[in-house]
Amino acid sequence: MHVEIQNSLSAGTTLTVHCKLKDDDLGTRQVMDSWEFSFKPSLLVRTLFFCSFSWPRRFEHFDIYM
């Protein structure tokens, strides 16, 4: 699976993103334009990939792959 996260906030506003699987933490990224990553879903167990997104006065958390 290929994931691309694009920052479409107002010019100059940084989007902070933290993505992880149960056993794979991609860490926190400061996204000004876009950030991409890929992963392989498990065939044996359910794969759940989730990300948190924050910007001034806002925090959101989403399951991006189930």
Residue 29 belongs to domain with CATH number: 2.60.40
Average pLDDT over all residues of the chain? 92
Q: Would you state the pLDDT for residue 46?
A: 83
- What is 16-41 written as a DSSP string? EEEEE-SS-EEEEEEESSEEEEE---
Contacts of 52 (CB under 8 A, 6+ apart): 17, 18, 19, 59, 60, 61, 62
Domain that holds residue 39: 2-65
Q: Per the structure block, which two tokens stand in for 52?
A: 């948190």
pLDDT in tens, 47-63: 888 999 999 999 999 99
In this prediction, residue 30 has a pLDDT band, given cuts at 50, 70 and 90, of: very high
Total domains in the chain come to 1
HSE (CB half, 13 Å, CA atoms) of 29?
Answer: 19
Q: Per the structure block, which two tokens stand in for 2?
A: 């290929």
The fraction of the chain above a pLDDT of 90, given in percent, is 71
Residue 39 pLDDT exceeds 90: no
